[in-house]
Amino acid sequence: RIDLRLQGGWHLLRADLGIDDACRNAGGLQFQVWGDNRLLYDSGLVKAPGVVKPELDIRGLSTLSLRTLGAQGSQPAQVCANWANAVLIGQEGDSASIVAP
**Domain-by-domain residue ranges, the chain?**
2-91
For residues 61 and 101, the model is more confident at 61
Give the pTM: 0.89
Rounded-to-integer distance, Cα 44 and Cα 72, Å: 12
pLDDT(68) > 70? yes
Long-range contacts of residues 20-24, Cβ cutoff 8 Å, at least 24 apart? 20/48, 20/80, 20/81, 20/82, 21/48, 21/49, 22/80, 23/48, 23/78, 23/79, 23/80, 24/48, 24/49
Q: Which fold has domain 2-91?
A: Jelly Rolls (2.60.120)
